[in-house]
Structure 1
Amino acid sequence: MGRPVLAAALGLGIALTGQHAQATGQDSAHAYAFAEDARRIEGAGSTADAVELEPGRTYRSTLPPDAKVFFRLELDDTGTAYASATAVPPSGTGVSVADGVKVTVEDTDGHACDADTATFGAPGSPHPVAAWAMREISPRRSVCAEAGTYYVTVERAAPDARGASPDPWELEIGTVSEPGTKTLAGTAAPEAWDSATPSPVQGTARRRPGGAGFAQAAPLGEGVWRDDIRPGQTLFYQVPVDWGRQLHVTAELGSSGTDASGYVASALTLDLYNPVRGQVEDLSLGYNGGQKSKPFKPLPPVAYENRHASGQQVSAVRFAGAYYLVAHLSPEVAEDFGDGPVPLTLRVRLGGAAQDGPDYAGSTVPADVFTVGGGDGLTSGGDGDTGDATLYRVLAAGGIGTGTALVVGIGVWTVVARRRGAGLSG
């Protein structure tokens, strides 16, 4: 299949997904697209009433402004469990830069196994943010290692901060189960890795519309990708990163094309999340109407042993799978440069060579969460070309249209192939 046909299929699939979002009431240009199979549950005000979260399932709930909510996990003593919560404040509401979402995993005695907080940061505008926490089985940890009941608590990071929203927020909650390994893995993070920042990928940018949520994240391979982002909008992309590969990303905002002047200190924020929605890295890009660019700080190659590192930037790059890029443009940009779209370019480079993953003693849940394209990796050429078959698998696994986009893409391919065949036979 040719790249133009693939691009048309992907674009049409994403467009249909957007139509579905409007059909289900998400008609706002900045509405978050929740997973279509998310089960609606209510967070409990007490651990005694907490609803169980099943590994591999996605849930939708509500977070009140002034209280924490509890959910329950039933865990064995062999695997690591990850829980994430994506908080979605109402569009147009006020938020504090210090506010956000906090996720904690606790045992039945109230001891915290792990906790993480994600805040809105410098833009000070409402947009989806995600935090994660885990119950990890590790030689380095002696707490929370027993089989039994654990609780996931979700709460606001700073509900009393000045400017914090008084409204309830929507939540998207997910859990992932990771088994132990058959043989004892190393207990130290790799000491040496290439920490140099490579030159950004060059070439003509290809159009790829971003999705409106994690479940609709648009797949990107190595190359140069172009989109438009409006003030207040958040766009989602996913990059398949195999074991041993090293992800490098540079973000660019294009010139506004107007005579307006001004400066927005944190116009664009770009967050990188790992396959279980744990934040890996972020960057903030100022904007004065002219083109601006900034790369992520160097990240290590994906390795199981990274989990033993002390810093989150390294420890979060602990498994292969879909890594998510979440771009948000501050509403303040509209005050100086109008509410029209601003050109966004993402330059994606994958260094290193694919390697075998850990020898898991069981299956992960979901089964394919730490794999790339069914395990055969991401193929790419020197000009940023991406293997069509792999992107289709990522598209289907990523939930864009939950298969609809894939069917549409095949339909487009079939029509074009028949036309080509007719032309050749004629």
Structure 2
Amino acid sequence: MDTAVSSAGRKPIGGSSEFNDHRIYLGKPAALDLGTVPVTWTNRWETSSHVVPVRSAGEYSIAVSLGPNAAKFAENAAVGVVLRVDVIGDEPAGPQHDAPVVAKSDKKADNKGGSAAHADSGEAAGAGWTGTVTAAVGGAVVLAAGVRVRGDAAQVGHEDDKGWRVKRQRSRGRVASAALAALCAVAALPGQAWAAGEPSPYTYEPSAQPVKGAVVNTDAEQLKAGGTYKDSIKPGGKLFYRVVLDAKSNAYVSATAVPKLGTKVSYADELKVTLQDRDGNSCNYGTAQFQSAEFARPVGTYAHRTIDKDSTSCQEADTYYVLVERDSEATSSSEPWDLEIRHLTEPGLKAAGPTAAPENWPSASPEPPTGGPQERRGGTSFFSARGLKEGEWRDKIKPGETLFYKVPVDWGQQLFASADLSSAAGEGYVPNALAMAVYNPARGLVDSASDVAYDGKQKSTALDPLPPVAYENRFDSKDSVNGMRFAGWYYLRVSLNPAVEKEFGSNPLGLSLRLNVKGDAQSAPGYAGPAGDFEVTDDHLSAAESGQSSSEAEKSGTMQLVAAAGIGAGTVLVLGLGVWMLVARRRAAAGPPSAGQGADSGAPTQYGPPAAW
């Protein structure tokens, strides 16, 4: 991590580690301090590079950059930063022409040209700022702060460094010690690697807003289309939310339950999501159960309103209610389940399309993927799921851990997926050790593979053949068919029973995923608006190729914006420096201002650096 200070004229202050500093970051808190000498008019005649730029009042900039290797300590490469800034001194800011030399102060920089940060070590009590910096390629500067410093900016009878015309006056200001007293890089923020030996936590979407489900529908808060929300639900809980739907779009509301790790769940523990009209009639509902794999892991389902010309229920533009329910056995843990709720809409069609679901599709198992296995680390949630394309992918999974992956499946394409668990030393038996499920782009549960019993030998499970993605699949009654209703990201969730640790130890086991995406991509249906989440774009294919998650894609877009802003700022800076040099040369040719230009007559004019700070 590096820091640097620039003057009001955007000139870097250099020549000493007191003004440009860096530290090695090892994932633990680290502190840096730097600052400036006092701002005075006469600093411009000094020769030291850390004194000359500190010549006028104005905005002094503090830049903070984080090297790309910081990504090793945090999955999202975000590290907390705290800035503490102090501007020290209340004395006259001379000598400025006839202003007196700065009087000594209890809080001044040392007289060797050292910064006030060193002269006033440990006493910074200025304004604080807390934020994050992101590991950037090449250590690009990604954060800058400005500090306004008062001093001897007023000049006599001519323009100052900013080109302002000022009147003849004597300035009183502050000794310009902009001291960055402490810059603390604290431990990595949420989204980082978890503690050794413990399963990873569920990574919520950063934009998720807190929402409070209501006991009665009239008190329900509104969920907006495209939004993601966070709540929690207790055993036996029933929570209402409100959505406003038009008469043209299909609507989806998903809920993902995240029980705490290690809590007890039972076969019939259930999460249910229902979409209701104002009369309490059910438009649609979905359920998710733990079934025979009785261990805590994220489970999810959705409810939807599908526009259907042959239906008369839930087709009107109106307010609808989402009811999320939790049903738990008496023997299950009573802790609340966290909820991640997402509301999406799918545009209607310009013209009526087919309404008959397909009856047949290819069901033969495809040939194993070619090219050999490749390494790809899974994410911990829908948001952090890693992209995969067709092929064989290797990972490691720890007892109690759940990993998420995502695969782009376009219109007309068919997804095949299987999972292999490696062998392990030791003897034992764990029923229902490995659980795998597939979710569609609206986070609706499509199907689950048969749970795998584990005895230390390699084991395998696979999803039943799913139909090719087609708009008309939505009119079938089976979830495994109507769930394949649109193109986009399809999510694989793979979980390992924590009981494996008791029988075979805590070391992670090898996990291999085989994926086949069969068929050529076909044209999308004639949507009446943007497809949104329900399409496969070049960005999807690129993320599947590189293994990028949604969180990494957001960071990539942010860094591109920062890079573009940096290029623009750099251009302005170069132009500004050119103007600054031109003005400086003209001043040098013109010489110092004379008394006829408004200088104080009868008072000695002093040039050159101050004798001491």
- Structures share fold, TM-score greater than 0.5: yes
Aligned residue number for residue 75 of structure 2 = 16
CA change 1:14–1:153 in 2 (3 A) is farther
2:551 matched to 1:399? yes
Aligned residue number for residue 86 of structure 1 = 256
Q: Pick the aligned partner of 2:474 from 299, 307, 317.
A: 307
Aligned residue number for residue 285 of structure 2 = 115
**Paired residue secondary structure (2:555):** helix
What does 1:216-227 correspond to in 2, within 5 Å? 216-227=384-395
Distance (whole Å) between structure 2 residues aligned to residue 68 and residue 93 of structure 1: 21
Q: Pick the aligned partner of 2:352 from 184, 193, 218.
A: 184
What does 1:153-164 correspond to in 2, within 5 Å? 153-156=323-326, 158-159=327-328, 161-164=329-332
**In structure 2, what residue type is equivalent to 1:243?**
W
Q: CA RMSD in A?
A: 2.6
Instruction: Encode CA deviations 1:370-395: one digit per residue, 9 max, x unaligned.
Output: 111248x74xxxxxxxxx57645x83
Aligned residue number for residue 335 of structure 2 = 167
**Paired residue secondary structure (1:333):** helix
**Paired residue secondary structure (1:371):** coil
Q: Mark the runs of 5 or more structure 1 residues left unpaired by the alignment.
A: 1-8, 379-387, 412-426
CA change 1:17–1:191 in 2 (3 A) is same
Please report how far the alpha carbon of residue 354 of structure 1 lies from its aligned counterpart in structure 2 after TM superposition. Answer: 0.5
Aligned residue number for residue 493 of structure 2 = 326
**In structure 2, what residue type is equivalent to 1:23?**
L
Between the two structures, name the one with larger relative contact order (CA 8 Å, sep ≥ 6): 1
What does 1:250-329 correspond to in 2, within 5 Å? 250-256=418-424, 258=425, 260-283=426-449, 284-329=451-496
Work out the number of aligned pairs and report it. Answer: 382
What does 1:37-186 correspond to in 2, within 5 Å? 37-156=207-326, 158-159=327-328, 161-186=329-354
CA change 1:200–1:250 in 2 (3 A) is farther
**In structure 1, what residue type is equivalent to 2:295?**
S
CA change 1:207–1:390 in 2 (3 A) is closer
**In structure 2, what residue type is equivalent to 1:371?**
E
Identity rate, percent:
43
Find the structure with the greater CA-based Rg.
2
Distance (whole Å) between structure 2 residues aligned to residue 93 and residue 192 of structure 1: 42
**Paired residue secondary structure (2:240):** strand
Contact residue 30 and residue 91 of structure 1 kept, 8 A: no
Instruction: Encode CA deviations 1:132-178: one digit per residue, 9 max, x unaligned.
Output: 0011111343211111110011111x22x142221111110001101
Distance (whole Å) between structure 1 residues aligned to residue 331 and residue 464 of structure 2: 31
Moved more, 288-297 or 323-332: 288-297
Q: Mark the runs of 5 or more structure 2 residues left unpaired by the alignment.
A: 1-67, 80-186, 564-613
CA change 1:22–1:15 in 2 (3 A) is closer
Contact residue 230 and residue 340 of structure 1 kept, 8 A: yes
Please report how far the alpha carbon of residue 14 of structure 1 lies from its aligned counterpart in structure 2 after TM superposition. Answer: 10
CA change 1:339–1:317 in 2 (3 A) is same
Please report how far the alpha carbon of residue 43 of structure 1 lies from its aligned counterpart in structure 2 after TM superposition. Answer: 0.9
**Paired residue secondary structure (1:353):** coil
Q: Pick the aligned partner of 1:33 from 197, 203, 206.
A: 203
CA change 1:405–1:290 in 2 (3 A) is farther
Distance (whole Å) between structure 2 residues aligned to residue 255 and residue 131 of structure 1: 32
2:537 matched to 1:373? yes
Contact residue 194 and residue 300 of structure 1 kept, 8 A: yes
Aligned residue number for residue 168 of structure 2 = none
Aligned residue number for residue 163 of structure 2 = none
Distance (whole Å) between structure 2 residues aligned to residue 224 and residue 407 of structure 1: 31
Aligned residue number for residue 513 of structure 2 = 346
2:514 matched to 1:362? no
Instruction: Encode CA deviations 1:279-331: one digit per residue, 9 max, x unaligned.
Output: 11111122111111122111111111111112111110000000000000001
CA change 1:140–1:286 in 2 (3 A) is farther
**Paired residue secondary structure (1:16):** coil
**Paired residue secondary structure (2:383):** helix
Contact residue 469 and residue 485 of structure 2 kept, 8 A: yes
Instruction: Encode CA deviations 1:14-61: one digit per residue, 9 max, x unaligned.
Output: 952287796239856331110011111111111111111111111111
Contact residue 272 and residue 325 of structure 1 kept, 8 A: yes
**Paired residue secondary structure (1:270):** strand
Distance (whole Å) between structure 1 residues aligned to residue 558 and residue 221 of structure 2: 34
Contact residue 211 and residue 218 of structure 1 kept, 8 A: yes
Distance (whole Å) between structure 2 residues aligned to residue 19 and residue 97 of structure 1: 39
CA change 1:201–1:363 in 2 (3 A) is same
Please report how far the alpha carbon of residue 13 of structure 1 lies from its aligned counterpart in structure 2 after TM superposition. Answer: 8.7
Distance (whole Å) between structure 2 residues aligned to residue 266 and residue 51 of structure 1: 39
**Paired residue secondary structure (1:266):** strand
**Paired residue secondary structure (1:173):** strand
**In structure 2, what residue type is equivalent to 1:262?**
G
Moved more, 331-340 or 13-22: 13-22
**Paired residue secondary structure (1:102):** strand
